[in-house]
A and B are shown apart, each in its own frame.
Chain A
Amino acid sequence: MKANFVKVALGAGLLAATALAAPTAASAKTLVYCSEGSPEGFNPSLYTSGTTFDASSRQVFNRLVQFKRGTTTIVPGLATSWDVSADGLEYTFNLRKGVKFHSTDEFTPTREFNADDVIFTFMRQFDKEHPYHGVSGGSYEYFNAMSMPDLIKDIVKVDDYTVKFVLNRPEAPFIANMAMDFASVLSAEYADVMMEAGTPEAVDLNPVGTGPFQLVTYQKDAVIRYKAFPEYWEGPAAIDNLIFAITPDSTVRYQKLQAGECHVMPYPNPADLEAMDADADINLLSQEGLNVGYLGYNTAKEPFTDPKVRKALNMAINKDAIIEGVYQGAGSAAKNPIPPTIWSYNNDTVDDPYDPEAAKAMLAEAGYPDGFTTDIWAMPVQRPYNPNARRMAELVQADWAAIGVNAEIVSYEWGEYLERTKKGEQGTFMLGWTGDNGDPDNFLAVLLGCDAVGGSNRAQWCNEEFDNLIQQAKTTSDVLERTRLYEEAQVVFKREAPWATIAHSIVFEPVRNEVVDYKIDPFGGHIFYGVDLAE
Chain B
Amino acid sequence: MLGFLFRRLGDIIPTFFGVTLLVFFLIRLIPGDPILMLAGERGVDAERYAELQAQYGFDQPIIVQYFDYLVGVFQGDLGKSFVTKKPVIDEFLTLFPATVELALMGILFAVFIGVPLGVLAAINRGKWIDHLTMSISLTGYSMPIFWWALLLIMFFSTTLGWTPVSGRLSVMYFFEPVTGFMLIDSLLSGEKGAFSSAVSHLILPTIALGTIPMAVIARMTRSSMLEVLGEEYIRVARAKGLAPFRVIMVHALRNALIPVITVIGLQVGVLLGGAILTETIFSWPGIGKWIIEAMNRRDYPTIQGGILMIAFVVMTMNLIVDLLYGVVNPRIRHKR
B-binding residues in A (CB < 8 A): 4, 7-8, 11-12, 14-16, 18-23, 25-26, 30, 32, 37-38, 40-41, 46, 48, 136-137, 139, 141, 144-145, 201, 216-217, 219-223, 225, 243, 245-249, 251-252, 255-256, 258-259, 261, 412-416, 418-419, 422, 431-433, 455-456
> Cβ of A4: which chain B residues have Cβ within 8 Å of it?
161
Known: A40-B83, A415-B33. A145 touches B162 (CB 8 A): no
For the complex with contacts A15-B199, A222-B168, A249-B281, 19 further pairs of A-B residues with Cβ separation under 8 Å are A7-B161, A12-B162, A15-B162, A19-B197, A22-B172, A22-B173, A23-B170, A23-B172, A48-B42, A141-B42, A221-B283, A249-B280, A252-B166, A255-B165, A259-B157, A261-B165, A414-B37, A415-B31, A415-B33
Give 13 pairs: A residue, B residue, CB < 8 Å, sorted on A: A14-B196, A19-B164, A26-B172, A139-B52, A145-B44, A219-B177, A222-B283, A245-B167, A248-B280, A252-B150, A252-B165, A261-B166, A418-B41
Question: Distance in Å from the Cβ of A383 to the closest Cβ of chain B?
Answer: 8
The CA of A456 and the CA of B39, in the complex, are separated in Å by: 12
B174's partner among A20, A217, A413 (CB-CB below 8 A) is A217
The answer on a CB contact under 8 Å between B41 and A16 is no
Residue of A nearest to B298 (CB): A415
B95's partner among A220, A243, A248 (CB-CB below 8 A) is A220
Question: Distance in Å from the Cβ of B295 to the closest Cβ of chain A?
Answer: 13
Residue of A nearest to B200 (CB): A15
The answer on a CB contact under 8 Å between A48 and B158 is no
The CA of A25 and the CA of B173, in the complex, are separated in Å by: 11
> Cβ of A256: which chain B residues have Cβ within 8 Å of it?
165-166
The CA of A422 and the CA of B31, in the complex, are separated in Å by: 18
The CA of A393 and the CA of B173, in the complex, are separated in Å by: 49
Count A-B pairs with CB separation below 8 Å.
170
Interface-side segment among B70-78, B251-259, B285-293: B285-293
The answer on a CB contact under 8 Å between B160 and A7 is yes
Interface size class of chain B, counting residues whose CB lies under 8 Å from the partner chain: 35 or more
> Cβ of B286: which chain A residues have Cβ within 8 Å of it?
221
Residue B163 lies at the interface, judged by CB distance under 8 Å to chain A:
yes
Residue B142 lies at the interface, judged by CB distance under 8 Å to chain A:
no
Residue B220 lies at the interface, judged by CB distance under 8 Å to chain A:
no
The answer on a CB contact under 8 Å between B41 and A11 is no
The answer on a CB contact under 8 Å between B289 and A16 is no
Query: What 1/0 mask marks residues of chain B from 204 to 220 whose CB sits below 8 Å from any chain A CB?
Result: 00000000000000000
Residue of B nearest to A220 (CB): B94
Known: A18-B197, A144-B48, A221-B95. A415 touches B32 (CB 8 A): yes
> Cβ of B64: which chain A residues have Cβ within 8 Å of it?
none
Query: What 1/0 mask marks residues of chain B from 137 to 161 whose CB sits below 8 Å from any chain A CB?
Result: 0000000000000100110011011
The answer on a CB contact under 8 Å between A225 and B42 is no
> Cβ of A37: which chain B residues have Cβ within 8 Å of it?
293
Among all A-B residue pairs, the 7 with the closest Cβ atoms:
A415-B36, A221-B285, A413-B31, A18-B193, A222-B285, A12-B162, A15-B200
Question: Distance in Å from the Cβ of A404 to the closest Cβ of chain B?
Answer: 32
Residue of A nearest to B194 (CB): A18
Question: Distance in Å from the Cβ of A526 to the closest Cβ of chain B?
Answer: 17
The answer on a CB contact under 8 Å between B283 and A246 is yes
Residue of B nearest to A417 (CB): B36
Question: Distance in Å from the Cβ of A123 to the closest Cβ of chain B?
Answer: 19
Residue of B nearest to A25 (CB): B172
Query: What 1/0 mask marks residues of chain B from 263 to 305 whose CB sits below 8 Å from any chain A CB?
Result: 0000000000000000011110110011001000000000000
Interface centre among B176, B283, B285, B290 (most CB of A within 10 A): B283
Residue of A nearest to B282 (CB): A252
A255's partner among B40, B94, B154 (CB-CB below 8 A) is B154
Residue of A nearest to B292 (CB): A248
The CA of A113 and the CA of B248, in the complex, are separated in Å by: 77
The answer on a CB contact under 8 Å between B41 and A252 is no
B161's partner among A16, A137, A145 (CB-CB below 8 A) is A16
